[in-house]
Amino acid sequence: MKKIIPAVIILIIGFAVWYLSGGTGTETDIEKLSVHYIDVGQGDSIYITSGGEGMLIDCGESGDTDSVISYLDNMGVTKINYVVGTHPHSDHMGGMSKIIEHYDIGEVIVPHIHDSDTPTTKYYEKFLTACSVKGLSLTEAELGRKIEVGDAELKIIAPVSEDYSNANNYSVGFIMHHGDNSFIFTGDAEELAENEMIESGSLEDIDVYKAGHHGSDTSSSEDFLNIIKPDYAVISCGEGNSYGHPNDITIENLSKFTDKIYRTDIVGTVVFTSDGKELTVTEEKAQ
Ligand SMILES: [Zn+2]
């Protein structure tokens, strides 16, 4: 009996502290998150913002980067805390030099690329020059690194290896949590890189999936989808693109998990907003 009474008192005090500190109601204090899948035609550009901080993942082709800049300017963005170039292809990093020149930039994250694979394309050289003019060094994506953007928590899940024959597989990938909601971004990572993510044990059930490689059948493998089980999917691709993206098989496989599939070629820019509990979706054009 003597031992039970102190235990009860500790429990009561513990409950009182928990209750006074807000109990389970902490979600109401969370800074909202918005995720903008910006329509850049055949390419990718995603802007994540919470609590006044922001991350831009890719910027589309050089010509389409102008519309990303006007979109962000309209939002009042002047500083971007993190700029991520998922991999050196022009539909992801074509106008990255313009982004670097136009905004106050915190950190630039790119994948570690084998020396012999360092691109010598003009847009990439312009990007490197823009960074050095601004005194920005490039940070290589480090597997497992955690990054906070306001109240959103991101973790780098790819690339897992250091040497790929296909540049798509270098894509920097993230899982992001915001309260109860989760998102995954895998750039153009193909099945080989998806399998590495599976083997590394970093995948989990996810709410919102940005379909890998513009909905190509080289990505969104069944094994991958069976783990992430998306409730929503976003496909970033251009109307009438010559690659046939998204692939019918990908749409069919995604449809096994969700009928909430948003295509930028049909609905334009798609915005997800999270308050930590509920997710709301806004489309630029009605389906
Ligand atoms: Zn691409």
CA of 15 to the centre of ligand 1 (A): 51
CA of 28 to the centre of ligand 1 (A): 37
- 127 and 25 co-located in one domain: no
CA of 270 to the centre of ligand 1 (A): 18
Q: Report the amino acid identity of residue 117.
A: D
Helix (H) or strand (E) holding 148: strand 146-149
Beta pairing class for 232-235 and 261-263:
parallel
- 22 and 46 co-located in one domain: no
CATH at residue 161: 3.60.15.10
CB 62 within 8 A of CB 123: yes
Q: Which of 65, 29, 72 is nearest to 49 (CA)?
A: 72
CA of 14 to the centre of ligand 1 (A): 52
Note the helical H segments in the chain: 4-20, 62-74, 90-93, 96-102, 122-133, 191-199, 222-228, 248-255, 264-267
- 99 and 194 co-located in one domain: yes
Percent of the chain with pLDDT over 70: 90
Residue 35: band (very low, low, confident or very high) from pLDDT cuts 50, 70, 90? very high
Q: Which of 234, 231, 218 is nearest to 40 (CA)?
A: 234
CA of 4 to the centre of ligand 1 (A): 63
Q: Is 178 exposed, middle or buried (0-12, 13-18, 19+ CB in 10 A)?
A: buried
Residues 48 and 57: their CA atoms lie apart, in Å, by: 8
- 56 and 4 co-located in one domain: no
115: its two tokens: 């020396």
Q: What is the DSSP letter of 53?
A: E
- 1 and 36 co-located in one domain: no
CA of 139 to the centre of ligand 1 (A): 21
**Domain containing residue 9:** 1-29
CA of 135 to the centre of ligand 1 (A): 28
- 25 and 157 co-located in one domain: no
CB 18 within 8 A of CB 34: no
CA of 188 to the centre of ligand 1 (A): 5
CA pseudo-torsion sign 209, 92, 178, 286? negative
Question: For residue 246, which phi and psi values (nearest 5 degrees)?
Answer: -80, 155
- The answer to whether residue 82 scores a pLDDT higher than 60 is yes
Identify the pLDDT of residue 3: 57
Residue 16: band (very low, low, confident or very high) from pLDDT cuts 50, 70, 90? low
Task: Provide the domain count of the chain.
Answer: 2
- 278 and 200 co-located in one domain: yes
- 20 and 149 co-located in one domain: no
CA of 91 to the centre of ligand 1 (A): 5
- 163 and 221 co-located in one domain: yes
- The answer to whether residue 163 scores a pLDDT higher than 60 is yes
Residue 119: band (very low, low, confident or very high) from pLDDT cuts 50, 70, 90? confident
Percent of the chain with pLDDT over 90: 85
- The answer to whether residue 8 scores a pLDDT higher than 90 is no
CA of 279 to the centre of ligand 1 (A): 26
Q: What is the mean pLDDT of residues 271-279?
A: 98
- 106 and 130 co-located in one domain: yes
CA of 179 to the centre of ligand 1 (A): 29
Tens digits of residue pLDDT in 177-196: 999 999 999 999 999 999 99
Q: What is the mean pLDDT of residues 268-274?
A: 98
Residue 25: band (very low, low, confident or very high) from pLDDT cuts 50, 70, 90? very low
Identify the pLDDT of residue 27: 46
- 3 and 60 co-located in one domain: no
CA of 243 to the centre of ligand 1 (A): 11
- Alpha-carbon 245 to chain mean position: 19
CA of 76 to the centre of ligand 1 (A): 27
Q: Provide CB contacts within 8 A for 78, sequence distance 6+.
A: 103, 104
Q: What is the mean pLDDT of residues 152-161?
A: 98
- 257 and 178 co-located in one domain: yes
